[in-house]
Every structure is written in structure tokens, then in C-alpha cells.
Amino acid sequence: MTRGERTITAQRVLALAGVSQCAMLAQELARRGHAQPEPLRCALGSILILNQTDPEVALGGVHGVYAGLPDLGRNHPDPPAVERLRYTVALIDIQKRLRRDKAVASHLRTELVHLQDESLARDPVSPEAVAAFARVYTETVSTLTPKIMIRGNQQHLRDDDVVLKVRAVLLAGVRAAYLFHEHGGRKWQLFIGRKKLAEAANRLLETH
């Protein structure tokens, strides 16, 4: 493998780890009503980093997606990890449909540019930012079908604050899925190329 191929693989894995991290955050919110603070901040902070295709910049590199890498390196996923994989696949699928729907994609970009102007990036986990991200998700990504269905504790899923955070996290997941696609990532690689994916993820974990 050439140095260039290693770089491409690393970028692809970082982007996929970003998707996986968002799947994990959505699961934590739905099951527990809260999520790990730093991964949540990194995920939501990536939403407004537009015009960047380098995961080192857009997602914060290994540090920014660190919570999502372990799932990629698992050889024998447990039931919760299998559920997260379903969410990851759903996010990859929905970004593919978003690419095909130019009107929704254009609306999404316009809204994100507008949010950039409001300086929400300074505190992406503030109630105002979370509500804004959730609104954008509802107006754009959520209009596509089939919708991403998150399972969990109904008490938490009826909590408005939790629901807003889940929607915001899913928006971040779509952003990461876009990057995954931009770097040659495809859904089938999560299954057919699982071994190589795990090896690459574990190398990134070991070196940081």
C-alpha cells in the first residue's frame, strides 16, 4: 500500500468513525437521556465546518471521532454495537438519498450557512445551537424516506430536550456520512471490507 493509499484509507476511516460516533451518541441519548459531553461537542461542532473535506479539519481528526473508532475495530460486535451499526448504515443511506434530492440538499446548505452567520459554532452544545440544528434536521433530512428510527427508553424519547439532541446528532451523522462518501466510502465496505476497516481503525487508536 502506498503512502497516498494509506492516507485515503485513514481519511475514510476517520469519516466513518464520525458516523459511528453519532450513532453511539443517538443510542446513548435514547437509552439513558444523556450522552458523553466531549464526543457530543465534537460531533455538533462539526456541523458548521463547511467547505472542508479533510476529516482532520472537518471532524477534528482522531480526537474528534475517538468514541466512534472502537466500534469499527470490533471483530465480534455485541447487541448494542449491532444496533449502532444499523444506525450507521441508516445515516449512510440517508446521505445518499440527500445527494439525489438537489432541492433538499440546497435547502440544507442554505440553512447551515445561515447558522454559521449566527456564530452558533462558538458553543455548538448550547440549547440555542441544539434547537437550531434539530430544526434544520426536521426541515431537511427528516423529510426524506425512510426516516431514521432511533429506539430507546420511551421516557427519554418523550423528553423534548433529548429529542432535540438526537435530531442534532443525526444531522452531524449525515455530515460525517457525506465525508465518508467523498473519500470513497460505501456501505458495503462495512460488511465485505470489515477486516481491513477494523485493522485501520485499530491502527488509529493505537497511535493516539
Whether residue 47 contacts residue 91, with contact meaning beta carbons closer than 8 Å, is answered with no
High-pLDDT (> 70) share of the chain, %: 96
What Rg, from alpha-carbon coordinates, does the chain have?
16
Is the model more confident about 4 or about 19?
Answer: 19
- Round to the nearest angstrom and report the end-to-end CA distance of the chain: 21
The predicted model gives 118-131 an average pLDDT of 91
Return the amino acid letter for 21: Q
> So where are the chain's domains?
3-206
Q: Give per-residue pLDDT as tens, 102-121.
A: 999 999 999 999 998 777 88
Q: What is the pLDDT of residue 25?
A: 98
17-46 tens-digit pLDDT: 999 999 999 999 999 999 999 999 999 999
Residue 193: predicted pLDDT: 75
Q: Is the pLDDT of residue 163 over 60?
A: yes
Fold of 3-206: YcfC-like (1.10.3890)
Instruction: Considering only residues 9 and 1, tell me which one the structure prediction assigns the higher pLDDT.
Output: 9
Q: Which residues of 122-132 are buried (b: 16+ CB within 10 A; e: fewer)?
A: eebbeeebbbb
Sign of CA dihedral 155, 161, 167, 171: negative
Residue-wise pLDDT for 86-98, tens only, equals 999 999 999 999 9
pLDDT score for 1: 41
